[in-house]
Structure 1
Amino acid sequence: MEALPLRLNPGDDLRGAVEQALRDAGAMAGYLVQGIGSLSVAQIRYAGLAQPTELLGDLEILTLAGSVAPDGAHLHMMLSDARGRVFGGHVGRGCIVRTTAELLLVLLPAHSFSREHDPLTGFAELAIRPAPAA
C-alpha cells in the first residue's frame, strides 16, 4: 500500500480530482479512506434514486470514503449544512470544493480494479483482480 495525501483547492470537482489523482499516480486500484473539507455545491444520490440531488451553500464534509478504479470511483459522503443538518449518499460529479478538501487516497499496487456489469445487481460493480505482471 502507498498513501497519497491530497489537498484540493476552491473550485475543484471532488470526484473528478480523486479519479484523476489515481490516474496521475499510474495506479490501477485505490481506496479513499477519509476526507474532510468544505463544498459550495454537492451532488448526492440518495438510496434508491436514479439521479443526484443538488445541495447548495456552505457545506462541511464530515466523512468521505470509497473505492477508486481507472474507469471511475464509487464514493459515499456525509456532509452538513450551515444549520447542522446532515445529508449523506453516493457522491456524484459536480461536488465543488468551497475552501479546501483534505483527502487520503491509498493506492493498492498489487490489485487492479474496474467497474463491470453485475447481473445480480444490474449495476456496474467493483471487479477486483491481481495487478498485471510488470
Structure 2
Amino acid sequence: METRPVAVRLHPGQDLLVELERLFAQSKAGAGCILTCVGSLTTAVIRFANRPESATLTGHFEIVSLTGVFSPDGAHCHLSISDGEGRTLGGHLMEGCRVYTTAEIVVGLLPGMRFTRPLDTETGYPELKVETIKPDEE
C-alpha cells in the first residue's frame, strides 16, 4: 500500500509535538512518519543524547531537521535547530517547542502497518515494534 501524505501548517505559539501527536491521533492510522518540516521556533525543548532531563532554549531558531515515527502509543521524534549564528543543536523532541512564525509539515501515514512500543527488556525502554496488518484490521 502507498503512503498517504497529510500536510499541515502550524501557527505562532503552537506546540510542535502536541500538534503532531494530535494530527496523527485524528488520522486514526496505525503507523506514520515525518516526511518533511520547515519552520521556526521561539522555544525549543530538547533532550540531548544520553541525558535524563531536557533543556529549554529560548530565542529565534530555524528548524533544520525534524524526523520521527508515530504510533498509537506515541511519537518518537528528533529535532535539529540552528540559531542566528548558524550553531546547530539537536536531540529528542519534547513538549514545549513553540512555533515562531510557521511550521510547515508533511506527515506520511502508512496503511498496512501498525507501530507499537512495547517495553524492550534489553534496553529498558519502550521500543518500536513493526507489524504488517490486513486492510480489514486497520
In which range does the TM-score fall when normalised by the shorter chain? over 0.9
Partner of 1:2: 4
Structure 2, unaligned runs of 5 or more: none
TM-score relative to the length of structure 1: 0.95
Alignment RMSD (CA, Å): 1.2
- Among the aligned pairs, what percent are the same residue? 40
Q: Are the aligned partners of 1:19 and 1:69 in contact in 2 as well (CA < 8 Å)?
A: no
Residue 28 (structure 1) shift: 1.2
Taking the TM superposition and a 5 Å limit, the aligned residue runs for 1:18-97 are 18-97=20-99
CA distance in structure 2 between the partners assigned to 1:48 and 1:96 by the alignment: 24
CA distance in structure 2 between the partners assigned to 1:59 and 1:126 by the alignment: 30
Mapped pair 1:120 → 2:133: no
Partner of 2:132: 130
TM-score relative to the length of structure 2: 0.92
- 2:48 counterpart letter in structure 1: Y
CA distance in structure 2 between the partners assigned to 1:98 and 1:24 by the alignment: 24
CA distance in structure 1 between the partners assigned to 2:43 and 2:114 by the alignment: 31
What is the aligned residue count?
Answer: 134
Residue 8 (structure 1) shift: 0.7
Residue 130 (structure 1) shift: 2.1
CA distance in structure 2 between the partners assigned to 1:103 and 1:38 by the alignment: 12
